[in-house]
Chains A and B, each alone.
Chain A
Amino acid sequence: MEDLAKAVMENALKLGAKYADIRIEQSRGEGFLLENGNVEQVSSDSTVGAGIRVLAKGAWGFYATTSLDRKSLLDATKRAYNMAVSSSQRVKEPCKLAPMKVVQDRDVIKVKKKMDDFPMEDRVQLAKDCDSAMRNVSKRIHRAAVSISGDTKKKLFCSTEGALIAHDMMKCYLSLRAVAHEAEITEDQYQLEGGTGGFEAIEKKNPIKLSQELARKTAELVKAPTAPTEEMTVIMDQDYVALLTHEIIGHPSEADRVLGKEAAWAGVAWWKGMIGQRVGSDLFNASDDPRIEGSLGYYKYDDEGVLAQEKVLIKDGVLVGHMHSRETAAIFGVEPNGGMRATSSQFVPLIRMGNTFIKPGDWTFEEMIEDVKHGIYAVGEKVPSIDNRRYNWQISSMWAYMIEKGELTTLLRDVTIAGTAPVFFKSIDAVGKDFILRPISSCAKGDPLQLMYMGNGGPHIRGRAQVIGTRGK
């Protein structure tokens, strides 16, 4: 396949491409959904595909195919080239790519329990054990759902500059859902675990214990009061911080968004042009780093063949950088930092988070809570609504506790926290040392839309925000 990829790249140059790359992928996936003890859906897929990107006359063209024979790939290259030439009719500013170190390498993810080492029957049994664990917690648990999936991907990246990188990847997910119902109140809570590597990544999370904890809390929530509506001190747990980081730090740090290239659908970034300016308190530090082994956002090279590295986004409260492609790096006059990923060979790469997080500080949770007279402790992430500049946000949490005189008191359901990015960031007065990276499995960007997996997280943080109770019954 390597020889074929090289031949296709040579052909792209002959056609007149200034630059081209190809991603050839072979994927295999297996998944199922188990509900209340029964497997409801089961599926298995095995697919191949190739995507060819061509830069010609200052414009991009791309073509993807599911036929991997020489003739089809050469035809796809020609189509991608023609696409670029057609696009170039209206290019005012020809695309330039920042130079990069071209490598030939192989990145093989460490996998202990491969797909065949942990067969579907055993995965179903694990799911059944999780399901029982959830439903045995309380009669209020009306529905328990467990899904376990794994997928492997072999990917070959080859470019006209001579890059040749083979990736051998595996990732897996465990999702748990508990629905409790009593006296017309329903609570539906969901938790995702996952990472790159084999099924050991799931097993080490202690799925049975996680299932019991999720179900116990969900069952308690149907009897819990709703949250008050007022501005107060808020402590967010790492899971809530993961979604907050994803939405209002990660997304606006994508340089294509900063430049307005995603304005039509995914939105823009409120901190455009603000590099070097203060956006939060001194305690506020954030980075993206795909190199964390086992994380869902792990990769060694991005889909332009650039070596992954830490991208410092916010340092001591000051905005210092963005995530880049080679194209946006050239526009900003910086080095490419390896932020380009495509969901599959059917799509062009976009600037994506790898693992974006708030960096840990030096507070313990106990220290954070002890001087709060009246506040709220938000646990877990549920659903976000963000404005198109990633400036104003409302994100619901799975549940919360009141904090009164330094102690956690009443459990609360239906809690939403609202804020405005710079105001909230500047209010951060405590950052925990208890850092956790969480998996995010389906982040939407692009047109046609691409769903991407990544890691997000941070430690507990404390600030001030608006808390909102439910408007429903």
Chain B
Amino acid sequence: MSKAEFGKVLVYAQKIGADEAEVFFLDKQLVTVRMTGGQVLESKGVHDRGVGIRVVKDKCIGMTVTNDLTRESLEKTTKNALAIAKIRGPAKHWKSLPKPKKVKSVPRIFDKKVAEMDLEETVNLAIQMLDRAKDFSPKIVDVSGSLNVFTDNVHILNTHGVDVSQASTSILASITTEAEKGGSRSSGVGFQGSCSLKEFNPERVGEESADMAVRSLDAQKIEAGDYSLILEPFALAEVTSYVFAWAVISKTYQDKVSFFQGKLGKVVADKSLSIYDDSTMAGHLGATSFDDEGVPTRRVSLIEKGVFKNLLYDTFYASKDNAASTGNAKRAGDLLGRSYSSIPFPEPHNFVVDKGTQSKDELIEDTKRGILVGRIWYTYPLQPERGDFSTTTRSGAFLIQDGEIKKPILPVRIYDNLPRCLQNIGGLANDVKQVRPWFGYYLTASTIRFDGVKATPV
């Protein structure tokens, strides 16, 4: 679909009475290779393209979606957007769709080689991940995982003159490995993501996973009690995605259900902790020059040296607080990346936790009684308003005693309170990595230690 065609949609919207209109066009190609039992389970591809059309009339906002891109369908869809906008009624706080602003391109988020990678090449990458894990040790008994390679081509225009487009590529790879020795079974996980083929090392994913599984053999049960909990980045990502994120989204705060309610500008965490949302990091997954409304992105400080600084805003929720969008409008969809079907909503692009000064080994040496963990599982806020969360250790869990890794441990359940954990940070390492949990947000962070966490054997 050409730019001229988009322009015609905007002209048509105004012709039938819209004060403002916006076209969000997405063309997505996704290839997934899934592996299980040490073999390729399936390869699958999707080509999806369509538009979301948003119109505003007298502050009444309506959005409609279609993937029939004929002129007739687009006009019908626009007309329908105007009709449902009227049903909606006026949003008194509404100011306007974004006005054009200078967009600074984020480097290295598109790699032609990834966009043009043929199927065979993709399957071969998956097989390299698989083989490296399988061949790592004779103790490896099962390897599963997935490789997702996708390209998003997005184009956003509105009647105020916003006209931005961008292509981005992403490779997301994860391997879960199981090892066995004399009746003891353990698992490991490896994850890697990048925007370019050059920065992607499939063998490292397999090796990381197999290494963790083998090191975790002969796990033993530990006593229930209070421990220092040391989360590696992949484990921490479950906490930031499923527990932390919603507390800093403007909508949650406006609803007064954030566990940081009333704490803007106040201390909510140890002073060693700074968390940002940063979609401007070159070559990082989640990086984008503009958000899904065409607003230029920037680094948003959420917690700075322990102080709660900002909320994440899109245009709609920002107008409710008489604030500016922070460039966090996202249209997250069923498939990875963006979707043309979703209404914009404020969400993080890529959480960044400032690294510490010590190495991970030094952090461990500094720990009297702790649990080090590589992967946690099903981490959810059981009492979201309070920030209570529950999780179990799944892979790469070890007991630390007097500064040393003593032994791998069997799963434990952790039930604690995130605001309490954030006030009790025992240290931050400098082993920065970008990760993404199953359906969570990207996180760029290092290993972190929370003190006084309750753990109970499963």
Interface residues of A (CB under 8 A from B): 30, 32, 38-49, 59-67, 76, 79-80, 82-84, 86-93, 120-121, 124, 142-143, 179, 181, 186-188, 259-265, 267, 343-344, 346-348, 382-388, 391-392, 394-396, 414, 416, 418, 420, 444, 447-451, 468, 470-473
Contact = CB atoms under 8 A, between A and B. Distances in A.
Nearest to A67: B47
A49 B65 CA distance: 14
- Tell me which of B87, B122, B389 has the highest count of chain A C-beta atoms within 10 A of its own C-beta: B87
A170 to B, nearest CB: 18
Given A391-B458, A471-B420, A472-B419, A414 B383 contact: yes
B383 A416 contact: yes
Interface string B235-274: 0000000000000000000011101010000000000000
Nearest to B90: A38
For the complex of A and B, 5 pairs with smallest distance between CB atoms: A472-B386, A45-B65, A385-B390, A62-B44, A60-B42
Contact of A468 (B41, B88, B415): B415
B341 A47 contact: yes
B64 A45 contact: yes
A273 to B, nearest CB: 13
B38 interface: yes
Given A186-B256, A383-B380, A448 B261 contact: no
Given A47-B65, A188-B385, A142 B256 contact: yes
B17 interface: no
SS class of chain B's interface: helix, strand, loop or mixed?
Answer: strand
Interface residues of B, number: 90
B197 interface: no
A388 B419 contact: no
B415 A416 contact: yes
Contacts of A259: 37
B38 A416 contact: no
A261 B37 contact: yes
Interface in B218-236: none
A242 B388 CA distance: 22
B32 A39 contact: no
A86 B41 contact: no
Interface string B84-95: 110111010000
A289 to B, nearest CB: 27
A64 B413 contact: no
Contact of B439 (A39, A40, A346, A449): A449
B382 A43 contact: no
B145 A43 contact: no
B384 A91 contact: no
Given A66-B67, A92-B38, A121-B87, A87 B33 contact: yes
Contact of A59 (B42, B45, B47, B336): B42
B359 interface: no
Given A44-B84, A416-B390, A89 B46 contact: no
A64 B46 contact: yes
B63 A42 contact: yes
Nearest to B341: A45
A346 B335 contact: yes
A46 B80 CA distance: 11
A348 B130 contact: no
Given A179-B257, A265-B438, A387 B458 contact: yes
B386 A387 contact: no
B326 interface: no
A138 to B, nearest CB: 15
9 contacts: A43-B84, A60-B44, A62-B42, A91-B39, A120-B87, A142-B255, A143-B255, A416-B388, A472-B386
Interface string B9-45: 0000000000000000000001011111111111111
B196 interface: no
A32 to B, nearest CB: 7
Contact of A385 (B120, B142, B392): B392
Nearest to B84: A42
